[in-house]
């Protein structure tokens, strides 16, 4: 399964950079998620016919920057809530 995922990611990565036109990279910090200076919640790369969105390194912080939850389950829910808000911002 891991080999298939790596293969798919590699193909997508190579395809996205094989496009003839690429606009600059866009970094976004949304007020609905959290705001830490120097940290981008998401990165969007316009690859011509498609857009690649990178969401790595999400953390369980609320919009005020406070750590949410006392256990892994609560923190995981907050991370997915943050991811949902970020993807909505991109039209997902």
78 or 24, which is more confident: 78
Q: Using the structure block, give the residue that is written with the tokens 């011509």.
A: 48
pLDDT at 54: 86
pLDDT digits (tens, 9 = 90+) for 29-79: 776 777 666 566 788 888 877 888 888 778 888 888 888 999 999 999 998
Domain boundaries, the chain: 2-89
pLDDT at 77: 94
Residue 41's Cβ-count burial label (10 Å; 0-12, 13-18, 19+) is buried
User: Does this model's pTM top 0.75?
Assistant: no
CATH superfamily name and code, 2-89? RutC-like (3.30.1330.40)
């Amino acid at each position: 399964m891991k080999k298939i995922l790596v293969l798919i990611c590699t193909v997508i990565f190579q395809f996205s950079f094989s496009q003839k036109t690429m606009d600059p990279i866009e970094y976004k910090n949304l007020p609905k998620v959290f705001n830490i200076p120097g940290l981008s919640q998401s990165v969007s790369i316009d690859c011509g016919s498609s857009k690649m969105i990178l969401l790595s390194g999400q953390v369980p912080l609320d919009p005020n920057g406070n750590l949410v939850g006392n256990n892994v389950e609560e923190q995981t829910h907050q991370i997915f809530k943050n991811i949902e808000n970020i993807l909505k911002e991109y039209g997902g």
